[in-house]
Amino acid sequence: MTTTESDEVRASVDAFRSSIATLKDEIAKTIVGNVTVVDGVLMCLLAGGHALLEGVPGLGKTMLVKTLAEALSLQFSRVQFTPDLMPADILGTTVIDDTKAGGKVFEFRKGPIFANIVLADEINRATPKTQSALLEAMQEHRVSVGTRTHVLEEPFVVLATQNPLEMEGTYPLPEAQLDRFFFKLHVPFPNREELHAILDLTTGATRSERQPVLHKDEIMRMQSLVRRVPVARHVQDYAIRMVLATHPEGPDAPETCRRFVRFGASPRGAQSVLLAAKIRALFEGRFAASVDDVRAVALPALRHRVLLNFEGEAEGTKTDQVIEAIVKALPETKVSKTGADVGLS
């Protein structure tokens, strides 16, 4: 890389960090704490992926998504998922409309999925038929209705929420849909100081107004920069071996995985790990992803892609425990039988 190219890269990384810092400051006017969750949602946006936010009621999951939408100059829509919600209520439907000449014409009325940021509130309350309506939109960023295919405007991100406690009236998300979420983020309960700050913000006489600080073109440029971040071969190999280790038959699978896991993460999981590692590197001002970046994003990228077997569920094992065991046991480089480090070429 020449000096000029290096200077351009440094300027791009600095501009990226400045934009992210401005966006986080705007979000912090409403959202207290939850730094890890906010970072995770921003990573999903920058990777062109989707996030599943899980937490008990009242933790601000919906407020976080609405705040993000207000801080970005993007089109926002919200879908409240209920058992009687139909696919057409999300995707849209074709209707017969009158023309000025007095004739009839078929016209497609777009549903709420046609937005840049879509809040799927309590997504596990909808039936599997309705949940499956999101599969094509989340993976291919397009919608097929009848014989026509409609392309969704970029950037496009689905931010879904669900409550892990209530079981009655809910439908577990199918594995195919879970795999389409870039991250699954656990929203924690706030501590004492954070609760004080929340009450000060929400029970006082004044409320801070949020202003859009990033526009569509800026977000698209940031997404493009993420894709250009280089990854050394041994870092990519580490991410691959981590995903393979989530499979009980994998060569690096720890005993916890072999005993409690039925099926591990898909190749889409490896893509999520590597893209998230690139974004984390940019967050820290580096234009190269490291093994530490891969380790840092392993939990949100893989926790929803690891399926436990009957013994694991009976023992109360959490997928986070399995992934943490993998991160702890997995060597940074794989030594071959000849003594050479695999992936360093």
> Looking at the domain assignment, is residue 88 inside a domain?
no
- Asked if residue 296 is part of any domain, the answer here is yes
Structural domain contains residue 273:
yes
Packing angle, helices 3-28 and 61-71, rounded to 10: 130
**Is there a domain that residue 132 lies in?**
no
pLDDT for residue 345: 40
277 φ, ψ (degrees, to nearest 5): -65, -40
Please report, for the domain that includes residue 277, its CATH number.
1.10.8.80
User: What are the φ/ψ torsions at residue 117 (nearest 5 degrees)?
Assistant: -120, 120
Q: Cα(54)–Cα(31) distance, rounded to whole angstroms? A: 16
Angstrom distance (rounded) from CA 117 to CA 69: 7
Q: How far is CA 105 from CA 92, 94, 101, 145, 327, in A?
A: 16, 10, 11, 16, 58
Query: CA 215, CA 18: separation in Å to the nearest integer?
Result: 14
Quick one: how far is CA 66 from the chain centroid? 16
With respect to residue 335, please indicate whether it lies within any of the assigned structural domains. yes
Give the pLDDT of the chain (345 residues) as one tens digit per residue: 666 767 788 888 999 999 999 999 888 888 887 889 999 999 999 999 999 999 888 888 888 888 888 888 888 999 999 888 898 899 988 787 777 777 777 778 888 999 999 999 988 888 888 888 888 889 899 988 877 888 999 999 999 998 877 666 678 888 888 899 999 999 888 888 888 888 888 787 766 677 888 888 999 999 999 999 999 999 999 999 999 999 999 888 999 999 999 999 999 999 999 999 999 999 999 999 999 999 999 999 999 999 999 999 898 889 999 999 999 999 988 765 545 555 544
pLDDT value for 113:
92
pLDDT at 57: 80
Q: At what angle do helices 267-283 and 3-28 cross, to 10 degrees?
A: 90
- pLDDT value at residue 338: 47
Residue 289 has which token pair? 């992803």
- Residue 143 inside a domain? The answer is no
Q: How far apart are CA 20 and CA 222, in angstroms?
A: 10
**Nearest-angstrom CA–CA distance, 235 and 288:** 10
Tell me which residue range forms the domain holding 274.
230-345
Distance CA 198, CA 166 (A): 25
Asked if the structure places residue 265 within a domain, the reply is yes
| Residue in the block written with tokens 């924690």 | 188
- Write out pLDDT tens, residues 9-53: 888 899 999 999 999 988 888 888 788 999 999 999 999 999 999
Residues 6+ apart with CB under 8 A from 127: 83, 85, 171
What is the phi-psi region of residue 75: left when phi exceeds 0, alpha when psi lies from -120 to 50, beta otherwise? beta
pLDDT value of residue 17: 92
Domain count of the chain?
Answer: 1
Single-letter residue type at 82:
T
Report the alpha-carbon angle 133-54-295, nearest 5: 105
The per-residue pLDDT for 105 is 76
| Residue showing tokens 């497609």 | 108
3-class secondary structure, 18: helix
In a domain, 245, yes or no: yes
pTM of the entire predicted model: 0.87
Give the C-alpha separation, 287 to 26, whole Å: 25
β-bridge partners, 106: 96
The per-residue pLDDT for range 286-322, each reduced to its tens digit, is: 999 999 999 999 999 999 999 999 999 898 889 999 9
